[in-house]
Chain A
Amino acid sequence: MFRNIKTMRPEAMIGTEQYRSYIESFESELLRGISTLSTLSIISKHPEEGIYGYQLLKELQEETQRMLVIEEGTLYPILRKLERDGMLSSEKKHSGGRPRKYYKLTEEGVKLNDHMAGFFSKLLEAIASLIEIEVKLPEKHFIYCPNCANKIDVTDEEYRFCNICGLNIEGLAK
């Protein structure tokens, strides 16, 4: 967001170096985790064909109305790290006249995405009153594990235990 600021008055607080450095560091720390979560979420929408880096960035910009800015070149190290950690699988295909690497979530990646999404949702809900926003979690469709905050689809009847922490979740759905 900070990088999107194009104009400012010279006397504005944001013009001071100390303030800028404070906000820049806050923003980059916050974005680091959110970038991973958003990347996983976009990839999860392409379970069959997978998605390549450039397409992923485009979708990310569209979905977040260009609020979430990832420096384009730094997306690939994130993807590579997730792939090395076994969260993503990849396949090279030629499309549009050039080689592209298509990424998909692995079984572990799907779990990680649900867990991260659940944790972040509960965190937002918890701090909502502090920053005076309203957060309404879709609790008709999902339950959030009370033990580890994992996001669990209530329509999936197979789940009796949280697949992250193993807590018995029968009867928790509203």
Chain B
Amino acid sequence: MSNIHEQETLVKEFKEQVVKKLPIWIKTSSTERKDVLEELESHIWDKAEELAQGGTITSLHVREAIALMGSPREIAKEYGRRGTPKIYITEELFPWYYKSIIIISSVIIFGHLLTMAFSFGGENTAWQVVGEFFTGATTGIVFGFVGVTILFVQLSMNGFLPEDLKKMAAEKGTLDITIEKPEVRLAKVERKAEKKAKRKGVLESQGSYIFMGILAISGGFFLLLYPIATLPAIIDYVVEPEAFVQWLRLIGGLILAQGAFRFGQALAGDNLRIHQVMMVLHIAASCLFIPLMLQLQYNPDIIITTLESIFSGADIQLYVTIGSWIFAIGNLFEAINELRKIIQLEATGFSQKG
């Protein structure tokens, strides 16, 4: 390895270590990240020059200059030291924290109110229905509160501020990492622009992943914990409620898992390897939907018998077969599309090792 190449590799490795530990709001902004790394690199070369005392810079000088910079963890930690501390969540994020708690609590209460409305007239007494409403709503709010609190503590620890969300929205989908030396970068500029354009269509913004994750997790929990089939207004019509409830719960579990994988992508930042792993898991969940959908036509207890008892004379078996195949094929296409994205990510390359 030539001397200059070794020196450049040392600087590159140091920058890679810093990038890995940088807070998410810098990682996801290509401008910020480039700026931070450029400044650190410039300092290392200045220091190495000073250590060489007018002579030729050697790898030893570069190593010493890097050692004097301090540990990448400490440097990255300093970048994350933003916001005014206030009981684990920064003061700047508190208004967002309150709003999120209020929104989530309202959604939970609204959902339970709807459930309660459909529950009246069933086997349970009014007191039992109201009691279930309070128990369910309280449990839901407690879970929501804990989840949102963990999320905001994590964001505060990363020095995340409300304006970062706006910046992220402005830089939607730009998840490229630039850690080469300026000269190398200039030589590769055309290829990088091409890769960036390709990758832009592959990954969503962090905000989109958070949104998709929250939506799917809420939907999944709803189907898992409060299956629609148990509502008295519906249960009267369901011939085999147990089979239907079990099927709905399986669907809920898969939706919940897909939400968790999307959430994982939101937290993955620039680590494209984690993105790929999450996408593979998402494909697995999508594939599991296929047998579940096809099961509808082979196991009449789930829905066919019920529909036949309601719409006598109609060819329910045919409709369910068509419907379940449409859903199954839809999921297959979704899985194929996700697989295409994984391959595309691999093809566009990783400028940062994941």
Q: Which residues of A contact B (CB under 8 A)?
A: 52-54, 71-74, 76-78, 80-81, 84, 96, 98-101
Beyond A71-B70, A72-B70, A73-B69, list 19 extra A-B contacts (CB 8 Å): A52-B42, A53-B42, A54-B46, A54-B47, A71-B69, A72-B47, A72-B68, A73-B75, A73-B78, A76-B36, A76-B40, A76-B75, A80-B79, A81-B81, A81-B82, A84-B82, A98-B45, A99-B38, A101-B39
B191 at the interface (CB under 8 A from A): no
Whether B79 lies near A77 (C-beta < 8 A) is yes
11 residue pairs from A and B, CB less than 8 Å apart: A53-B39, A54-B42, A71-B69, A71-B70, A76-B40, A77-B75, A96-B46, A98-B42, A99-B42, A99-B182, A101-B38
State the majority secondary structure of interface residues on A. helix
B74 at the interface (CB under 8 A from A): yes
List of A residues within 8 angstroms of B72 by Cβ: 73
List of A residues within 8 angstroms of B42 by Cβ: 52-54, 98-101
Q: How far is the CA of A53 from the CA of B81 in the complex (A)?
A: 19
**Known contacts A71-B70, A98-B45: A77-B78 contact under CB 8 Å:** yes
B35 at the interface (CB under 8 A from A): yes
List of B residues within 8 angstroms of A80 by Cβ: 36, 79
Which residues of B279-334 are within 8 A (CB) of A?
A: none
Which residues of B35-60 are within 8 A (CB) of A?
A: 35-36, 38-40, 42-43, 45-47
- Residue of B43, B45, B46, B182 near A76 (CB, 8 A) is B43
Q: How far is the CA of A101 from the CA of B182 in the complex (A)?
A: 15
Q: How far is the CA of A134 from the CA of B78 in the complex (A)?
A: 34
Whether A73 lies near B74 (C-beta < 8 A) is yes
List of B residues within 8 angstroms of A76 by Cβ: 36, 39-40, 43, 75
List of A residues within 8 angstroms of B35 by Cβ: 101
CB < 8 Å A-B pair total: 57
List the 3 closest A-B pairs by CB distance, nearest first: A77-B78, A73-B69, A71-B70
State the majority secondary structure of interface residues on B. helix
A160 to chain B, nearest CB (A): 32
List of B residues within 8 angstroms of A100 by Cβ: 42
Q: Which residues of B contact A (CB under 8 A)?
A: 35-36, 38-40, 42-43, 45-47, 68-70, 72, 74-75, 78-79, 81-82, 182
Q: How far is the CA of A52 from the CA of B47 in the complex (A)?
A: 13
Q: How far is the CA of A54 from the CA of B47 in the complex (A)?
A: 8
Among A77, A78, A80, A98, find the residue whose CB has the most chain B CB atoms closer than 10 A. Answer: A77
Whether A74 lies near B39 (C-beta < 8 A) is no
List of B residues within 8 angstroms of A73 by Cβ: 40, 43, 69-70, 72, 74-75, 78
Q: How far is the CA of A133 from the CA of B344 in the complex (A)?
A: 68
- Residue of A72, A77, A99 near B81 (CB, 8 A) is A77
B47 to chain A, nearest CB (A): 7
Q: How far is the CA of A96 from the CA of B75 in the complex (A)?
A: 25
Closest Cβ neighbor of B65 among chain A residues:
A72
Q: How far is the CA of A90 from the CA of B340 in the complex (A)?
A: 43
Q: How far is the CA of A77 from the CA of B73 in the complex (A)?
A: 12
List of A residues within 8 angstroms of B79 by Cβ: 77, 80
B35 to chain A, nearest CB (A): 7
**Known contacts A53-B43, A54-B46: A74-B38 contact under CB 8 Å:** no
Q: How far is the CA of A98 from the CA of B47 in the complex (A)?
A: 13
Q: How far is the CA of A80 from the CA of B40 in the complex (A)?
A: 12
Whether B75 lies near A74 (C-beta < 8 A) is yes
Q: How far is the CA of A99 from the CA of B79 in the complex (A)?
A: 21
Q: How far is the CA of A77 from the CA of B77 in the complex (A)?
A: 9
Q: How far is the CA of A152 from the CA of B40 in the complex (A)?
A: 36
Q: How far is the CA of A99 from the CA of B82 in the complex (A)?
A: 26
List of A residues within 8 angstroms of B43 by Cβ: 53-54, 72-73, 76
